[in-house]
Chains A and B, each alone.
Chain A
Amino acid sequence: MVQTHLKKRIEIILEAPALHRLTDRLNQAGVTGYTIVPVLAGRGRDGSWSAEGLAGDAGRLVMIISIVDAAKADDVLERVYTLLARQIGIVTVSDVQVIRADHF
């Protein structure tokens, strides 16, 4: 059986205009990698939204997924929170198993 290692998966849904600020913070925190995924549509407290037809970044959301070592997770979340506290966004943290521990 393949050996797996416990890591933290941080998933952030954030408004697109603030994306570069978030990735700057992740880089500063020493996060080794992240994946950015476009988000199509959804519904929040202010009603439904959709990225369809938008020519600008305002109103568009993106999802950033990063897997980090548990020892680093608090520092990453604190840096993320300094930005997210004032922007539209959602952060979730979950436990995941990875095969190559040295990658994160």
Chain B
Amino acid sequence: MSFLELASQNLVSPMVLFFALGLAAALARSDLSIPEAVAKTIALYLMMSIGFKGGVEVAKSGITTLMLLVMLAGVLLSFIIPVIGFFALRAVSRLSAVDAAAIAAHYGSISIVTFVAATEAVRGLGLPFEGFLVAVAAVMETPAILSALLLARRAQPAGQTQGEGESAGALIREVGLNSSVVMLVGSFFIGWATGAKGLAMIAPFIVDPFRGVLCLFLLDMGLVAGRGMREGARHLSPPVLAFGILMPLFSAAVAALLILPLGLSVGGAAVFITLAASASYIAVPAAMRLALPEAKPAIYLTLSLGVTFPFNLALGIPLYLAIAQRVGL
């Protein structure tokens, strides 16, 4: 399928349309809202479902060389993308080193909801994908934070970039124990341990309602993104705005080259490229508030959630699918 066919099919999917509804409602200042506790519960449900299903797939296939190589590629990308993003931002914008490092960390890490949206798009086309990509998503979450800390430290006088008395190890531990990561990884191992039998037992809860719940979460993401754009757009200069679109495309290209020799399936390649192109908006923003508190959250949250996430959801995923058709098996 061509990019245009994939994009037009994607744009009329319920997921994208619910996101658009939330975005439009927030921009129009509607009182539509999802309570914070409900949003957190839905996020945990999504982590549980995707983690469990990924674990079941690995139980079927076992640990393979391909899985280890793709995980290694994911870690490598998560380290490298922030470095490239940092220097690109410093070259094209007037952002401080701390702001540039904080933004770069978001683009090196991943967005699990973008990942879920990509897996649904791949499933919608009837393409299989490797279940171990859930584990790849989990290992790509934190290396970017380390990269960003090193970049910010290098650019700032000693002692001005790290939280008071805070070590990088303690920070990584906090990020690694973030509720979404614990739920994703924990469910992955439970799915792995219990296999298809375990899945059959809880499928009515974690499989059947999944798409509907995802639509509800995307409605919420649209509302939050719309509110962020309304309040935060004035903090984004044109070069920073352009970075929010161009950086995912660059990351996608690097990811495609990296997995070219590995032999991932077309569906798996699309999901991996999407992971590399996505930007975090749950784990990394919280980590940045601790590690680089001088960085302005209005910039990195608005850019990640208000620009890159909608772009990836609407146009990025079909584009990454089109690229995957050329690099996947």
B223 and A56 contacting across the interface, CB-CB below 8 Å: no
**Which of B33, B180, B282, B294 is A53 in contact with, Cβ under 8 Å?**
B33
B34 and A53 contacting across the interface, CB-CB below 8 Å: yes
A60 and B36 contacting across the interface, CB-CB below 8 Å: yes
Taken residue by residue from 47 to 71, chain A's Cβ proximity to chain B (1 for < 8 Å, 0 otherwise) reads as 1111111111111100000000000
Complex Cα spacing A48 to B43, Å: 24
- Secondary structure call for the B interface: helix
A83 nearest in chain B by CB position: B164
Complex Cα spacing A75 to B225, Å: 41
A57 and B298 contacting across the interface, CB-CB below 8 Å: no
Report the minimum CB–CB distance from A67 to chain B (whole Å): 25
Complex Cα spacing A38 to B281, Å: 21
B41 nearest in chain A by CB position: A55
**Which of A18, A47, A59, A86 is B294 in contact with, Cβ under 8 Å?**
A86
Answer whether residue A4 sits at the interface, using C-beta atoms and an 8 A cutoff. no
Answer whether residue B285 sits at the interface, using C-beta atoms and an 8 A cutoff. yes
Complex Cα spacing A38 to B35, Å: 13
B224 and A54 contacting across the interface, CB-CB below 8 Å: yes
Number of interface residues of A (CB under 8 A): 27
B-side contacts of A60, CB under 8 Å: 36
Give chain B interface residues in 279-303, CB to chain A under 8 Å.
281-283, 285-290, 293-294, 296-298, 301
If A56-B43, A86-B164 are given as contacts, then 11 extra A-B residue pairs at C-beta distance below 8 Å, sorted by A number, are A17-B286, A46-B298, A50-B227, A53-B34, A54-B36, A54-B224, A55-B217, A56-B180, A56-B286, A82-B164, A88-B289
Can you spell out 24 A-B residue pairs with CB atoms less than 8 angstroms apart?
A17-B286, A18-B290, A21-B163, A46-B298, A49-B231, A50-B227, A53-B34, A53-B223, A53-B224, A54-B36, A54-B224, A55-B42, A55-B180, A56-B180, A56-B286, A57-B286, A58-B281, A58-B285, A59-B297, A59-B301, A86-B163, A87-B289, A87-B293, A88-B289
Give the top 9 A-B pairs by smallest Cβ distance, nearest first: A58-B285, A56-B282, A55-B43, A47-B231, A17-B289, A17-B286, A86-B293, A57-B286, A52-B33
